[in-house]
Amino acid sequence: MKRFYTILSAALAVVAIMGDRLESFGKEVSFQSGSQQIKGYLATPAGIGPFPTVLFLHGGIGSIIGGNPSAVVNALANAGFVGFAPIRRNDPSMATHAKDTAAAIDFVKRLDQVDNAQLAITGFSRGGLLAFMASTRRQDLRAVVLMAPAHGRGALRRFLADAENVSAPTLILVAKNDTRQADHVSLSRQIHTGLRAAGKHAQLIVCPPYGQDGHHLFFEVRPSYWQNVERFLKSRLKPR
pLDDT tens-digit map of 187-240 = 999 999 999 999 999 999 999 999 999 999 999 999 999 999 999 999 999 877
In this structure, are residues 48 and 94 in contact, taking their beta carbons and an 8 Å threshold? Answer: no
pLDDT tens-digit map of 94-133 = 899 999 999 999 999 999 999 999 999 999 999 999 999 9
Give Cα 2 distance to the centre of its chain: 48
pTM over the 0.75 mark: yes
Q: Is the pLDDT of residue 16 over 50?
A: no
Closest CA to 34 of 89, 111, 122, 100: 100
Cα dihedral across residues 173, 179, 184, 190: positive or negative? positive
Q: pLDDT value at position 113? A: 94
Q: CA–CA separation, 53 vs 239, rounded Å?
A: 9
pLDDT tens-digit map of 43-73 = 999 888 899 999 999 998 878 899 999 999 9
pLDDT category, 24, cuts 50, 70, 90? very low
Q: Is the pLDDT of residue 11 over 70?
A: no
Q: pLDDT value at position 25? A: 59
Domains of the chain with CATH codes: 25-236 (3.40.50.1820)
Q: Show the 3-state SS of the chain.
A: CHHHHHHHHHHHHHHHHHHHHHHCCCEEEEEEECCEEEEEEEECCCCCCCEEEEEEECECCCCCCECCHHHHHHHHHHCCCEEEEECCCCCCCHHHHHHHHHHHHHHHHCCCCEEEEEEEEEEECHHHHHHHHHHCCCCCCCEEEEECCCCCCCHHHHHHCCHHHCCCCEEEEEECCCCCCCCHHHHHHHHHHHHHHCCCCEEEEEECCCCCCHHHHHHCCCHHHHHHHHHHHHHHCCCC
pLDDT tens-digit map of 129-183 = 999 999 999 999 999 999 999 998 889 999 999 999 999 999 999 999 999 989 9
Q: pLDDT value at position 21? A: 37
